[in-house]
Amino acid sequence: MTQAPLRRLIDLPGIDDLEMKALMKPRAADPDERHEFPEIVAAVEETARAAFGLTPDEAEAVVRPADWDGIERLEPAEMVAAFAAEGWDVADARRKPLRMLGWWALPLALAMRGVAGEVPFHAEPDQPVTDWGSNLKAEATRFRKR
């Protein structure tokens, strides 16, 4: 049985741009430093609302179910594994946790688990095309030769 490929958080619109900004200003990736980077906060809120239907602040206000596991409070490396188990790749190309993962973890977790917000639409990958037509043509040619 083949496992479906993980959905990549960085592929959602706006996430990669914010990752680049966090690369240039590493402190901007820390949600606790939001008071110093109002332009980053505005961009995060806009991107999160577009991607998940709720901002990080709105996600904080959501009442979590009694069996909530606190995935958003794990260490970044543990978050990568936890999100991967639920079908999401939250790492960069070098397999390191995204710099802005602290901003995205709770809205993503709430949306993917159906608690609040919503996960963006993702089309299923195309099914591989079988080459049955050429096989049928070859069989017909062999049949006519008999």
Q: Which two tokens stand for residue 107?
A: 């809205």
CB 21 within 8 A of CB 28: yes
The residue written with tokens 């990669």 in the block is 16
**Going residue by residue through the chain (146 aa), what tens digit of pLDDT does each one get?**
456 788 999 999 999 999 999 999 999 898 888 889 999 999 999 999 999 999 999 999 999 999 999 999 999 999 999 999 999 999 998 999 999 999 999 999 999 999 988 887 665 666 565 665 667 777 778 888 87
pLDDT of residue 119: 83
> 83: exposed, middle or buried (C-beta count within 10 Å: 0-12, 13-18, 19+)?
buried
Q: Where are the alpha helices (DSSP H) in the chain?
A: 15-24, 38-52, 56-61, 76-85, 101-112, 132-145
Q: Which two tokens stand for residue 49?
A: 């609302």
pLDDT of residue 1: 44
Report the candidate in 74, 143, 136 with the shortest Cα–Cα distance to residue 108.
74
CA dihedral defined by 85, 86, 90, 93, rounded to 10 degrees? Answer: 60
